[in-house]
Amino acid sequence: MKRKTSKAFVYLGSSGVHGIGCFADQDIKKGEIVRIWDGEDSRWVSTRQVNASPHVALYKKFGIRSTGGYWVPLDFLRISTGWYMNHAADPNLGSDDGDVTYHAVRNIPAGEELTIDYRRMDDKHDNLQRDVQVPPTASRQKPRGKAVRKRQAGR
């Protein structure tokens, strides 16, 4: 199925779910692809390499756990906004390829936090279990951030 790509830009902001989250600067229609990842922004690191690395804590906290290792950012100083996506049991984004292509599973108003289900990031590993402080559901958020306020003020 060919999907239309949303024109929304994703920005980071204070999350009502956990820490920092991703937000869209304009409405996203159900089915539209949301550009949150750069497909060239990750690399595979084996469990052996992770455990031997001085960055083991970063890899285990932020990497996507999979059989034999983790998918991690190429560079923690320059990462796609998608690495900041928070979990929701009822997310507003889904993926057909289980990889870096996400689409809206319902209409998403500008300023609502974009969420995914961590449990669907890998067939064998539940990436939610490693961070028990993350709530299992995310409530829909009111619009936040300067970009949203400016857009609304111009209406």
Residue 60 resides in a domain:
no
> From CA 125, how far away is CA 128, in angstroms rounded?
9
Convert the pLDDT of each residue in 70-124 to its tens digit: 888 888 887 777 778 888 889 999 887 656 688 999 999 999 999 988 777 666 6
Residue 131 has pLDDT above 60, yes or no: no
Q: Residue 123's pLDDT is what?
A: 63
User: Looking at the 3D structure of the chain, how many domains does it have?
Assistant: 1
**Is residue 50 in some structural domain?**
no
Which value, in Å, is the radius of gyration of the alpha carbons in the chain? Answer: 16
On the 0-12 / 13-18 / 19+ scale of CB atoms within 10 A, 84 is buried
Question: Does residue 13 fall inside a structural domain?
Answer: yes
Q: Helices marked H in 17-145 — which ranges?
A: 47-52, 56-62
Residue given tokens 């922004």 in the structure block: 41
* 56 within domain boundaries: no
CATH number, domain with residue 17: 2.170.270.10
Residue 126, pLDDT score: 58
Whether residue 5 is contained in a domain is answered as yes
- Tell me, yes or no, whether 21 lies in a domain: yes
Which of 79, 80, 71, 78 minimizes the C-alpha distance to 98? 71
pTM, 2 dp = 0.67
